[in-house]
């Protein structure tokens, strides 16, 4: 059953209010409290903000979220930025390959598909099949999607989709390629009427006021993105970081992840 954005956020807030109790007994003394710095993409930002708040209230630790696109995350870690946890997809795997994250400290937090956003209250064209999606994309006056150059999974897959549909030239000619997706989600362009359609991870669409999820990319045009987390080998607070990841992979957190349009992951 689909939830409206307001109902989804209310449901999420209720879940988060309840799961704060799940870790209260494990709260450290003030002298043990740590600041956990998390370098993350936007894909899980909304639910992560809520869950981090619950973790802070129950554990006494502080979670600092730093938003960046995947390619910038890798660059910042390689350049020596001091953080404890990285949350992304390809960036985490890249850092494992470079020895910056131990394989045993990498896990899957969630999986999420790619969706199409429309402005709230706007007509909802058909995207239920590849041919229907093709007609809708060609009919749209403007489209916005994440710049593949910054490592955004939705932008990389969307360019594969329009190539496969044989409409890449037409679509690129009327598209906004969003290079600031880490701080300005593509669905915000749609919400403000700056683009008719937005292509983005579903979890990033459902959290934007004024935008609605038209639906997921159909059939085998869809590509699920794994949201990975990894603790850096140079993490100043590795124990607190592991406590955070245990919380984010707990059954209670899984309910909040589902409410945000994602599937809970597995190791």
Region 33-58: mean pLDDT is: 89
Mean pLDDT of the chain: 88
Please tell us whether the domain made up of 114-221 is placed in CATH 3.40.50.300: no
**For residue 265, is pLDDT > 90?**
no
**For residue 61, is pLDDT > 70?**
yes
**What are the structural domain ranges in the chain?**
5-111+225-264, 114-221
Kindly give the pairing relationship between strand 85-88 and strand 225-232: antiparallel
pLDDT tens digits, one per residue of 205-222: 998 999 999 999 999 999
Q: Please, which residues bridge with residue 199 across strands?
A: 116, 145
φ and ψ at 101, to 5 degrees? -130, 130
Q: Is 163 helix (H, G, I), strand (E, B) or coil?
A: helix
* Superfamily classification of domain 5-111+225-264: Periplasmic binding protein-like II (3.40.190.10)
Beta strand ranges found along 41-84 (DSSP E): 62-67
Q: One fold for both 5-111+225-264 and 114-221?
A: yes
Neighbours of 185 (CB within 10 A): 27
**For residue 101, is pLDDT > 80?**
yes
């Amino acid at each position: 059953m689909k939830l409206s954005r307001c109902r989804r956020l209310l449901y999420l807030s209720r879940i988060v209010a309840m799961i704060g109790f799940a870790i209260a007994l494990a709260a450290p003394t003030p002298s043990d409290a740590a600041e956990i710095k998390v370098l993350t993409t936007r894909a899980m930002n909304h639910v992560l903000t809520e869950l981090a708040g619950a973790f802070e209230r129950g554990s006494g630790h502080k979670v600092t979220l730093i938003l960046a696109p995947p390619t910038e995350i890798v660059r910042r870690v390689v350049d020596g930025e001091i953080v404890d946890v990285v949350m992304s997809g390809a960036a985490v795997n890249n850092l494992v390959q470079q020895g910056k994250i131990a394989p045993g400290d990498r896990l899957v937090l969630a999986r999420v598909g790619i969706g199409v956003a429309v402005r709230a209250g706007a007509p909802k064209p058909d995207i239920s099949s590849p041919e229907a999606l093709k007609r809708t994309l060609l009919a749209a006056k403007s489209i916005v999607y994440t710049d593949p150059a910054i490592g955004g999974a939705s932008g990389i897959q969307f360019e594969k989709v329009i190539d496969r549909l044989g409409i890449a030239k037409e679509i690129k000619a009327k598209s906004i390629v969003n290079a600031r997706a880490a701080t300005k989600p593509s669905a915000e362009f749609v919400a403000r009427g700056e683009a008719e359609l937005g292509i983005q991870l579903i979890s990033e669409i459902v959290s934007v006021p004024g935008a609605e999820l038209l639906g997921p990319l159909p059939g085998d045009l869809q590509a699920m993105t794994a949201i990975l987390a990894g603790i850096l080998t140079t993490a100043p607070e590795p124990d607190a970081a592991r406590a955070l990841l245990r919380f984010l992979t707990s059954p209670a957190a899984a309910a909040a992840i589902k409410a945000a349009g994602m599937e809970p992951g597995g190791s």
